Amino acid sequence: MDTPAIVIGAGQAGIAAASALSEYGSRPVVLEAGSDTAGSWPNYYDRLRLFTPAQLNALPGRPFPGDPHRYPTRDEVAAYLRKCAAAIPGEVLTGHRVATVDRSGATFRVHTTTGAEFTAPVVVSATGSFANPYRPELPGLSAYTGEVLHAADYRRPHPFAGRRVVVVGSGNSAVQIAVELAAESPVILAHRSPLRYATNEPIPADSRFWRAISLASRLPIGRFFHSGTIPIVDTEGYRSILEQGNPEARPMFTRAEGPVLHWPDGRSEEVDHVVLATGYRPALTHLSTLCPPDAAGFPPHRNGISTAHPGLAFLGLEYQRNILSGTLHGAGRDSRYLARYLARYS
């Protein structure tokens, strides 16, 4: 099937890309692997709340419904994205998982696992990262015999009630999951680097802090940041809760023996579950031949524009162009930049 542009993924980045391309006269085909047009949002843990307020989680021209000065829930974001997807002028095809992308001359050929083929001079890869959870090598964890799962597999605290849990990580999701679990279980938050907070006090959703972040997101300075620079955004008093000791924050364990974890201070204890809240890497297996990623999993690009293939772009990569590129707000801002560039090829 020939089309002026193909967008791979119908999550927040894919919807933003398709909407922006349509503003430049293109009617893209959006290929979504799943059956939903809310991307990965329905698959996150039940009580997830965004770490940015509603006013900073809207696509261009589509305000987020309700009070702009609140932190929306997982389900609110999913519902919002479904409405945005329904308004895309192009075609959204669910159940079309992209297997590979190759190129012949100035045309990209996109092949799906169902055997379908789509061709276009423009391709935007907007597949996010939820499908590629990052599981780092941790000291001695290979010898641990308890359950190890990633935050991508975590949904709710009830199955862990009364069980001893270690959450690994030092970012927003790690803290939110650890605090949630601690209401029903003894929890340790194990971190490889010290916990850092964006502010000294909890941040209200109507804080001037977010105005400053919004202004900063207009600058193309994303390449100067990396995932390790993200501080904890204390939206619900997490710092105070951690200082009370449950969950207990500790430096990373040093080794494991069966179900027992050993800590730098000499303590050891039996642990039932280890939850890796260690982030994600871009899900780009469909491009592994066309443009192999670097050691960190990122494709060769500058501000989201492929440096290897004209007409190919990426959207939704963390820090790809601005400090909020991995969020709805940032993807929306980046999408218009990419659409202007890609208009010359479609």
Give the pTM.
0.93
Is 90 exceeded by the pLDDT of residue 73? yes
Is 90 exceeded by the pLDDT of residue 66? yes
What distances in angstroms separate CA 275 from CA 100, 136, 138, one per listed residue?
Answer: 32, 12, 12
Report the distance separating Cα 161 and Cα 260, nearest Å. Answer: 19
Segment 143-170 shows an average pLDDT of 96
Segment 235-248 shows an average pLDDT of 93
Is 90 exceeded by the pLDDT of residue 247? yes
Is 80 exceeded by the pLDDT of residue 227? no
Report the distance separating Cα 296 and Cα 311, nearest Å. Answer: 23
Backbone torsions φ then ψ of 108, nearest 5 degrees: -90, 140
